[in-house]
Amino acid sequence: MTLLAQAVPPGAADLARARGTHDVQGGLHLESWIYQGLDALGLEFPFEEWVLVAVTLLVVCGLVFGFINLFALFAVWLERKVSAHMQCRLGPMEVGPHGLLQTLADGIKLTVKEDIIPRVADKPLFILAPVIVFTGILIRFVPLPFGPGLVASDMDLGLFFVAAVGSVEVIGVIMAGWASNNKWSLFGTIRTATQMVSYEIPIGIAFVAVIVCAGSFSLMEIVNAQQGWFWSWFVYRNPFLTILSIIYLIASLAECKRAPFDLPEAESELVSGFHTEYAGMRFAFFFLAEYAAMYLVSAVAVVLFFGGWWSGIPAIDGIGLAPDDSALTVTVGFLMKAGIFMTKAIFFVFVQMWVRWTLPRVRLDQMMHICWKVLLPISLVCLVGSTLWELMTGGGAFFGIPTLFGFGG
């Protein structure tokens, strides 16, 4: 706490009061809201400044956790529906309208299940593993925006942070597999380690290519660089980035262990891989982490390539951005942008499910072949190509074509 107190610069409260509740993109500042709300009521914030920061952090953490839970509830239902409809089935239909509350019922069942730890398991590691896996995902949500300004911490090295702490999850998975003392778990763990370490490289290269175009590591800055018509989205910026966006989507499937790269938990080969021995709440955390990771990689794809919260039509994006807009317009614009961002992210989650229920699982050697012999060389070529394209065309949108005709990005 003393560290936290030192980290808060003196006069932070005055800054929060001064800067307004919304930023330039119509985003919210939570601390400013609290301060200005208290001011409006004629109250003083009764504690020191770092208490406010700590409270804000807790609230934000709780919000993100709540969001992950809600999203997982929805996504599990969606997954079951997508799979069912692609296989001429109906899927869950009994609990709630079209089975919408089925996941809630399953979640309640999981929480009241007996918590089993195998006798020969390494107890501390076994207990710690799901926590680390889930934390590894949760921590990646820190620099991820949910809408304009709606971000836990807009750090300058946001994208680097997302890529870096992603590896924490691997440690948790390895712990889970090793501590289970089960050969299937261990196989799954080894596969996870090889897979996730390999596929981080094409993802990192795709990140770098986007950073070159945007000129910043910050996810907010990257989104703001794609403002305007939809051809200023990075996926249309040059042909190499289009290819890189596809490479990122493929590699992100492997990164969150989804089919066709679900070798770590291959049901038909390894029972259920690294979480074979887990039951009840601990299993639920692995499950939650998987769906949170699905949202995360989709949201990152939206931020990097598909324009973030910009709808691609300036007339819609402009709502609430003018300096003399009323508070209502600003709020409407903000909510709309958050909704657009969420819709895009959920669309890519749907694409992941779509791929999962279409393609069969690849073999281990095929998986390594795809990563090292296909994705990696192509992504390297695309990185060089994209950078050269940026240098030569000066960064025009939509392959530079609108710039040629005097449109401008």
Residue numbers of the site for another protein (CB under 8 A)?
A: 82, 84-90, 93, 354-355, 357-359, 374
CB-wise, 259 or 397, nearer to another protein? 259
CB-wise, 67 or 372, nearer to another protein? 372
**Beta-carbon count within 10 A of 326 CB:** 9
Confirm if 207 and 159 have CB atoms less than 8 A apart: yes
Nearest CA-CA partner of 249 in 342, 346, 355, 146: 355
Rounded CA separation 202/367 (Å): 13
Structure token digits, residue 305: 């390539």
Residue 265 CB, nearest distance to another protein (Å)? Answer: 21
CB-wise, 167 or 366, nearer to another protein? 366
CB-wise, 319 or 351, nearer to another protein? 351
Q: Which of 51-87 are b and which e, b meaning 16 or more Cβ less than 10 Å from the residue's Cβ?
A: ebbbebeeebeeebeeebeebbbbbbbbbbbbebeee
Residue 90 CB, nearest distance to another protein (Å)? Answer: 4
Rounded CA separation 85/306 (Å): 27
Confirm if 258 and 348 have CB atoms less than 8 A apart: no
Rounded CA separation 191/210 (Å): 29
Cα angle for residues 104, 109, 112 (degrees, 5° grid)? 125
Residue 249 CB, nearest distance to another protein (Å)? Answer: 12
Residue 213 CB, nearest distance to another protein (Å)? Answer: 25
Rounded CA separation 158/277 (Å): 35
CB-wise, 153 or 358, nearer to another protein? 358
CB-wise, 24 or 86, nearer to another protein? 86
CB-wise, 86 or 108, nearer to another protein? 86
Rounded CA separation 377/201 (Å): 11
Helix/strand/coil for 150: strand
